[in-house]
Amino acid sequence: MNVLVTGGAGYIGSHACLRLLNDGHAVSVLDNFVNGHQQAIDVLQGLAEPGRLTFCEGDLRERDKVAALLEDRSIEVVMHFAALAEVGQSMGDPLLYHDNNFVGSLSLLQAMDRVGVRRLVFSSTCATYGEPDQTQIPIRETCPQRPINPYGASKLHVERLLADYAGSVPEFAYAALRYFNVAGSDPEGRIGEDHRPESHLIPICLQAALGKRDRMSIFGTDYPTPDGTCIRDYVHVVDLVDAHVHAMHALEPGDQRHYNIGIGKGHSVRECIDTAREVTGVDFEVVEAPRRPGDPPTLFACCDRIQEELGWTARYTDLTETVSTAWNWFSAHPNGYED
């Protein structure tokens, strides 16, 4: 199958490319390198069979370029990961987020419409749910979507755009995957996670273990949880990509699918820190800080729908195993991708 991966030089997108190549698909990547890395593409090209991977540097808002890529590569399905995803940044610059995430997705869909590509797997987020009442935990797909930041709102707008378009084009099919906290790296250490700046808990722990940070902070220790710190659902990036592949193969004309992707249970901030210390063997410094606004005590997913409909379940459900794959990458690449 000919697959276009938008944002394929980024963390999740590059892992999706690796899986698709391993499965024998022809992969085309579109990335503007705002958050992606040339070195990730270089690694993928070194692993790909000749002619199986094509890279195009560009932005989704370059509609003519996107349409030409779709047509030239005879694309059959799009995996759409290209987005900005920092909640704090979105609060400070909402126009940037709506332009990049929503307008970029609109441009992609217009290009697909022009060329006649009718299948899309969309990287959405649990941020579309906002702050669910704790009685709604674990979160199901039927939970009201009330985002509390521009990042979550921009993703929800795309979901609504896809539904509107599907209502007018019966052949179009899409799946929106709302995932929770993504962690881990390729178990063989070929590609990994490199965000700048880094805001994800597990990489921050590992950077502290590497001495890249003097210390790390726990934001809030008085939540109504067993150890007083927030609890979140950490899904391994390999499992997340596997869910995208399941969704891609399941799409039939007219499908409008929505799935939560997680492991169905949560781990606290202190659990993540303790696990990182155990895996790395480093007792890095941790300080306590006040709560951050908008951090619910507990968030984790109910993944019954995708299990029942597609047969997908997470394989990496042990936190130590997930952190170990991340450490395998970080310890070998203490400076991340050095492009």
pLDDT tens, 172-228?
999 999 999 999 999 999 999 999 989 999 999 999 999 999 999 999 999 999 999
Contact (CB, 8 A) for 182 and 235: yes
Run means of pLDDT, 10 residues per run, the chain, 339 residues: 98 98 98 96 96 97 98 98 93 96 98 98 96 92 95 97 98 97 97 94 98 96 96 98 98 98 97 98 97 87 98 98 98 91
- Domains of the chain are 2-183+235-262 (3.40.50.720)
- Contacts by residues 267-271 (CB-CB < 8 Å, ≥ 24 positions apart): 267/231, 267/232, 267/233, 267/234, 267/319, 268/225, 268/226, 268/227, 268/229, 268/230, 268/231, 269/201, 269/218, 269/219, 269/229, 269/230, 269/232, 270/218, 270/227, 270/228, 270/229, 271/227, 271/319
| β-pair type (77-80, 53-57) | unpaired
pTM, two decimals, is 0.97
Q: 69: closest CA among 34, 107, 96, 101?
A: 107
Write the burial class of residue 126 (CB in 10 Å: 0-12 exposed, 13-18 middle, 19+ buried).
buried
What is the pLDDT, as a whole number, of residue 128? 96
| β-pair type (231-232, 267-268) | antiparallel
Compute CA distances 7 → 82, 166, 240, whole Å.
4, 23, 15
Q: 35: closest CA among 95, 86, 94?
A: 86
What is the pLDDT, as a whole number, of residue 287? 98
Rounded Cα gap, residues 258 and 175, in angstroms: 6
What is the pLDDT, as a whole number, of residue 134? 84
Rounded Cα gap, residues 220 and 242, in angstroms: 33
Any catalytic annotation for residue 337?
Answer: no
Rounded to the nearest 5°, which phi and psi values hold at 265? -155, 165
In the set 151, 179, 223, 316, the catalytic residue is 151
Contact (CB, 8 A) for 311 and 11: no
Contact (CB, 8 A) for 30 and 6: yes
What is the pLDDT, as a whole number, of residue 296? 84
